[in-house]
Amino acid sequence: MKTITFSQATLEAMQEEMSRDERVFVMGEDIARQGGIFGQFKGLPAQFGTERVIDTPITETAIVGACVGAALAGMRPVADMHFADFAGVCFDEIYNQMAKIYYMFGGQKSVSMVLRAPDGLTNQAAAQHSQSLEAFFQHIPGLKIVIPSNPADAKGLLKAAIRDDNPVIYFEHKALFPMKGEVPEEEFITPIGKANVVREGKDVTLVSYSMTMNHSIKAADILAKEGISVELVDLRSISPIDSETIINSVVKTSRLAIAHEAVKQGGVGGEIAAIVAEEAIDCLDAPIVRIGAPFTPVPFARPLEQAYRVTPEKIAAAIRGMM
């Protein structure tokens, strides 16, 4: 194992996949000249040239549309959204083209592309640069959606996404880029659609993903000191969802909590709660608890932003209340 940052892990994934397959290329704003806003593409132009690491104008519609066309022509493009918030600009290309072409053409053409979408709260980035919008895309058939929480899965899921024959949206939390963690030296792939039981427990199942998974680990540490044993499930993929792992955990613990940074209303937590309610409600000893952001745009003012955040303490308090 080696210790590298989340950003370096995604860069290694790009380097390995671009070296392995000459059809892989990346395009987006400021990725060749700047190396990406979070440094996640630094060095790629020198290694692969600007024909495969392409700077574009500020036009998300053209970026995604061009990548869809390239995928239909047999390439394996990676589109960078700069910020996930800007995916709304090219929403038609995502949900009407990228997601549906394989179905509408009877499987004759696949759209083998990855949409990289940095999301989530950073320091005072305000309402248009801080959102967690993954639930929008979970509702669209034809898309796979992955959300890593650590450097190892950042690399393994990006490699899996690039190799997948389906369109994949790869959400990468902006605050995770500097996070350091152990990553295997040898080549590896993290399977799409398979959750990870990060820690076993017996009193309550806590399901999360992305940055909030790290807050959930801290919450579990707080609760462990109080004698509450939390089983932690990192989704890693929200479409498809690994319902089997979730249900097996709930059958064992008899309680379920779900935590995510996104707004609670209409969030991924509601889908997970519904799956468990439909398939394992008789196993529950307490109502399902969801922890998410309040139903408001992300505030700019620091005190309000802090109040908006889902924190380890808020997660621990919610679980404490269901015991």
| Residue 260 designated active-site | no
Report, at the CATH architecture level, how domain 196-322 is classified.
3-Layer(aba) Sandwich (3.40)
Q: What is the mean pLDDT of residues 128-134?
A: 95
Distance CA 114, CA 58 (A): 19
pLDDT at 310: 97
Beta bridge partners of 204: 230
**Are 18 and 52 spatial neighbours (Cβ–Cβ below 8 Å)?**
yes
Q: Is the pLDDT of residue 37 over 90?
A: no
CATH 3.40.50.970 is the classification of domain 2-183: yes
Confidence class for position 122, pLDDT limits 50, 70, 90: confident
**Are 211 and 154 spatial neighbours (Cβ–Cβ below 8 Å)?**
no
Q: Is the pLDDT of residue 248 over 90?
A: yes
**Are 201 and 253 spatial neighbours (Cβ–Cβ below 8 Å)?**
yes
Distance CA 95, CA 100 (A): 7
Q: Is 18 helix (H, G, I), strand (E, B) or coil?
A: helix
User: Dihedrals φ, ψ of 18, to 5°?
Assistant: -70, -30
Tell me the pLDDT tens digit for each residue of 41-56: 999 999 999 999 999 9
pLDDT at 197: 98
Q: What is the mean pLDDT of residues 213-240?
A: 98
Burial per residue of 32-67, b for 16 or more beta-carbon CB atoms within 10 angstroms, e otherwise: beebbbbbbbeebbeebeeebbbebeeebeebbbbb
Q: Is the pLDDT of residue 237 over 90?
A: yes
Choosing from 82, 129, 173, 215, the catalytic residue is 129
Q: pTM here?
A: 0.96
pLDDT over 90, % of the chain: 96
Confidence class for position 86, pLDDT limits 50, 70, 90: very high
Q: Is the pLDDT of residue 38 over 90?
A: no
Give the range among 34-43, 46-55, 201-210 with minimum mean pLDDT: 34-43
What are the residue boundaries of the structural domains of the chain, listed by start?
Answer: 2-183, 196-322
Helix 210-224 with 312-322: angle, nearest 10 deg: 60
Q: What is the mean pLDDT of residues 173-179?
A: 96
CA 311 to chain centre: 18
Residue with tokens 């997660």: 315
pLDDT at 289: 98
Burial per residue of 256-274, b for 16 or more beta-carbon CB atoms within 10 angstroms, e otherwise: bbbbbbbbbeebbbbbbbe
Comparing 2-183 with 196-322, is the CATH topology the same?
A: yes
Helix 243-253 with 268-280: angle, nearest 10 deg: 60
Q: Is the pLDDT of residue 39 over 90?
A: no
Distance CA 134, CA 143 (A): 11
Helix 6-20 with 151-163: angle, nearest 10 deg: 30
pLDDT over 70, % of the chain: 100
Confidence class for position 279, pLDDT limits 50, 70, 90: very high
Instruction: Using CB atoms within 10 Å of the CB of residue 278, give its burial: 0 to 12 exposed, 13 to 18 middle, 19+ buried.
Output: exposed
